[in-house]
Amino acid sequence: MVSVSVKDVAALAGVSLGTVSNVLNRPDRVAPGTRDRVLAAIDELGFVRNEAARQLRAGHSRMIGLVVLDVGNPFFTDVAIGVEQAAAGAGLSVILCNSAESTERENHYLSLLQEHRAYGVLITPVAEQNPRIEQIRRRGIPTVLVDHGTTRRQCSVSVDDVVGGELAAAHLLAAGHERIAFLGGPLGIKQVADRLAGARKAIRAAGVDPFRLTLIETGAMTVAAGRAAAERLRAVRGDRPTGVCCANDMLALGVLQDMTRHHVDVPGELAIVGYDDIDFAAAAAVPLTSVRQPRVQLGEAAATLLIDEVERPATHQHRQVVFEPELVVRESTTPAAGAR
Amino acid sequence: MVSVSVKDVAALAGVSLGTVSNVLNRPDRVAPGTRDRVLAAIDELGFVRNEAARQLRAGHSRMIGLVVLDVGNPFFTDVAIGVEQAAAGAGLSVILCNSAESTERENHYLSLLQEHRAYGVLITPVAEQNPRIEQIRRRGIPTVLVDHGTTRRQCSVSVDDVVGGELAAAHLLAAGHERIAFLGGPLGIKQVADRLAGARKAIRAAGVDPFRLTLIETGAMTVAAGRAAAERLRAVRGDRPTGVCCANDMLALGVLQDMTRHHVDVPGELAIVGYDDIDFAAAAAVPLTSVRQPRVQLGEAAATLLIDEVERPATHQHRQVVFEPELVVRESTTPAAGAR
DNA sequence: GCCTGTTGATGACACGATTCAGCGGAGGCA
DNA sequence: TGCCTCCGCTGAATCGTGTCATCAACAGGC
């Protein structure tokens, strides 16, 4: 295998390096005849541009880094699809990095993206504050926070998690549940903390003692963690909660799985509200009531803000885009309407 | 923001460029005192290596491209996790590309990976034959087929889909079902064709007329496509099938959703077998019987073969790794054992 | 004091695309 | 004819790293 470069193309077409480069990047500046000759040479040699060389010259790459908490969670893959759509429109590609809720892995990927001189970074950080993010910004790589609160110092896109938590809890309260549990974690994750705060707010607003909320902190936001937490929920002494707000659908599915296995009727003995409304929520053992987030749009908005920051640094203003969540009611909180 | 290079580090540490490079790549060749001085300079300036320049020099990047049919399908994200594990061990990173079952997108990503001079490409191709793959190999980028049959010309990892299809259909036949449907598509996708062939084989072996198999071809392998196909299944004239083999769990979940909505009892009126045994299969409306594939190991094995091909080209022999699938029986094919 | 071997450091060169100052030639205008 | 402009093309310089032939210094053996 011989690697062919612009030099080879230029030689075959009988022009200079610069002309080949112009054909590739500013075709209008090249006379049609010459252009065709160069294109023919490219075709004949099977020339493919070397991105590394372009990047070296340009000083930065054309790759957006997207750092998410869990690739196994359809919420994030949907966000990724949105990012990819917006990126493709600008000729950019996306590199998906899975921090798996580990700050160590998160930092590893941030280093990697820095070494690659990434075009920009979209990140849902594990912890509230990660100094590495600020550091990367200072090095000239813009960042946008995804689904993670707001800061003045950079752009962010998010869904109002306090409102979401409120919607979920208010729905349970309206259905007559008084003993409510909140399940999620680690609590250091901002989304979890906000959704919990929202749930507490709804409880206070309903005039119920907020301490009636049973908090069950999980180590992760996966189906397996949900199953484990459900066990603890079943073990609650005294009056067991009759409704539970889960910080995401994965947890909710885990809880549902465990309850079904232990013959706890859902929603009869326990009503469950999920969060994210992933596609699988509607297909669950008992279709899940869930708080829907505009996942794809979230990704699109994040990428668009990033691109604006890079392409129009003069006029760019940091913006905080906040979407509104929406409650989707299904059978995990209301007795089945149809035959069963 | 000023970009700092080895030159700046060298100047500050009072050594030459080559020495800095040696500190980074062969620290043992540098005297301890010098090494410390260089490291201190690196630290003070916040120097970060420029990957683009390394790649340009090296001639190839340290990125493995993983091209999958659907990032939204947990099967592929699990494969990705396996790939990532094996890659991280060799200091490589992974770029995940979603062909979304479109040959056009697949080719787009292959071009991209070629421009990036990828370390190698792991791919589940959309169509049986894609000449671009052979072309990329000839350009010196090794490829490994993932979950897609076998060829002598390159490494591949797969799960025996014929056996898998056989397991699924045989299970239904053993439970007394005689009218069986197979649901999947497009049939051009090798996995689908093989699973179908396996199902036919089981039917023949059971002495049932294979033409009793109702084939429903879908346009994609998503939950939505499953719902649409279920509608067609319900519309079958005459004796409706009492058991259905789905080409993956996403389709099966779609079918289940549609049947539940239309009050068709599962498994009473229709038994459903899925494929892949993704985490959500066990958490479904009716826990899904499914054919389990070693997803993470599949990814690991693929990456390991690829790395072997690149690192030890002299001794490398193309291998075809074939895993055995395993049937996991749940309630979508057998009446619930517990209380309900 | 001379030779040899070893260790540690040097710095020019290569990788491949892009950029930009500059050059020749054609054409317009007075 | 002389001057100017515009178009199309040239080719040297550049980006930041890794490599390798080379060299200086020094220790040890005779």
Per-residue pLDDT tens digits for A17-46:
999 999 999 999 999 999 999 999 999 999
Q: Is some CB atom of chain B closer than 8 A to the CB atom of A312?
A: no
Determine the Cα–Cα distance for residues B212 and A196; give it in Å rounded to an integer.
Answer: 54
Question: pLDDT tens digits, residue range B205-231?
Answer: 988 776 678 999 999 999 889 999 999
Question: Where does residue A210 rank: exposed (0-12), middle (13-18), buried (19+ CB within 10 A)?
Answer: middle
Dihedral angle, C-alpha A50, A52, A56, A59, nearest 10 °: 110
Q: Is some CB atom of chain A closer than 8 A to the CB atom of B98?
A: yes
**Contact across the interface for A117 and B52, Cβ inside 8 Å:** yes
CA angle, A84 as apex, A79 and A85 as ends, to 5°?
100
SS3 sequence of A283-308: CECCCCEEEECCHHHHHHHHHHHHHH
The nucleotide minimizing the C1' distance to residue A50's CA is C16
Quote the pLDDT of residue B338: 40
Q: Within a 13 Å sphere around the CA of B291, how many CA atoms are in the beta-carbon half?
A: 28
Give the confidence band of A211 by pLDDT, cuts at 50, 70, 90: low
Name the residue facing A116 among B51, B81, B115 (closest C-beta): B51
Average per-residue pLDDT for chain A:
92
**Contact across the interface for B283 and A285, Cβ inside 8 Å:** yes
Q: Using an 8 Å Cβ cutoff, are A171 and A141 in contact? A: no
- Average pLDDT of the segment spanning A199-222: 88
Determine the Cα–Cα distance for residues A252 and B40; give it in Å rounded to an integer.
Answer: 50
Outline where chain A has alpha helix (H). Answer: 6-13, 17-25, 32-45, 51-58, 74-89, 103-115, 131-138, 161-174, 190-205, 223-234, 249-261, 279-282, 295-311
Chain A residue with Cα closest to B296? A72
**Contact across the interface for A50 and B283, Cβ inside 8 Å:** no
Give the single-character DSSP code of A212. G
Determine the Cα–Cα distance for residues A266 and B215; give it in Å rounded to an integer.
Answer: 36
Evaluate if residue B79 carries a pLDDT over 70: yes
Q: Using an 8 Å Cβ cutoff, are A3 and B59 in contact? A: yes
Q: A320: which 2 tokens?
A: 């905080």
Determine the Cα–Cα distance for residues B264 and B160; give it in Å rounded to an integer.
Answer: 32
Give the confidence band of B336 by pLDDT, cuts at 50, 70, 90: low
- Average pLDDT of the segment spanning A122-128: 92
Question: pLDDT tens digits, residue range A186-206?
Answer: 998 999 999 999 999 999 998
CA-closest candidate to residue B125, choices B141, B140, B142, B110:
B110
Give the confidence band of A16 by pLDDT, cuts at 50, 70, 90: very high
Q: What percent of chain B has pLDDT over 90?
A: 80
Evaluate if residue A339 carries a pLDDT over 50: no
Average per-residue pLDDT for chain B:
92
- C1' (C9) to CA (B48) span, angstroms: 23
Single-letter amino acid code for the residue at B303: A
Give the confidence band of A261 by pLDDT, cuts at 50, 70, 90: confident
Q: Is some CB atom of chain B closer than 8 A to the CB atom of A5?
A: no
Q: What percent of chain A has pLDDT over 70?
A: 97
Question: pLDDT tens digits, residue range B220-267?
Answer: 999 889 999 999 999 988 889 999 999 999 999 999 989 988 889 999
B135 interaction partners in chain A (CB closer than 8 Å): 46
Cis peptide before A186 (omega within 30 of 0): yes
Question: pLDDT tens digits, residue range A305-322?
Answer: 999 999 998 899 999 999
Evaluate if residue B339 carries a pLDDT over 50: no
Determine the Cα–Cα distance for residues A288 and A48; give it in Å rounded to an integer.
Answer: 49
Q: Which residue is nearest to nucleotide C18 (CA to C1')?
A: A57
Quote the pLDDT of residue A338: 40
3-state helix vs strand vs coil in chain A, percent to 5: 45, 15, 35
Determine the Cα–Cα distance for residues B274 and B247; give it in Å rounded to an integer.
Answer: 7
Single-letter amino acid code for the residue at B218: T
- Average pLDDT of the segment spanning A79-102: 94
Q: Using an 8 Å Cβ cutoff, are B188 and B127 in contact? A: yes
Quote the pLDDT of residue A210: 64
- Average pLDDT of the segment spanning A94-122: 95
- Average pLDDT of the segment spanning A199-221: 88
Which pTM value belongs to this model? 0.89
**Contact across the interface for A50 and B56, Cβ inside 8 Å:** yes
- Count CB-CB contacts under 10 A for residue A322: 14
Name the residue facing B115 among A49, A81, A139 (closest C-beta): A49
Q: Is some CB atom of chain A closer than 8 A to the CB atom of B62?
A: no
**Quick check: B30 CB within 7 A of strand C?**
yes
- Count CB-CB contacts under 10 A for residue A143: 26
Q: Is some CB atom of chain A closer than 8 A to the CB atom of B84?
A: yes
A59 interaction partners in chain B (CB closer than 8 Å): 3
Q: Is some CB atom of chain B closer than 8 A to the CB atom of A93?
A: yes
Evaluate if residue B340 carries a pLDDT over 60: no
What are the backbone dihedrals phi and psi of residue B312, each rounded to the nearest 5 degrees, phi first? -130, 65
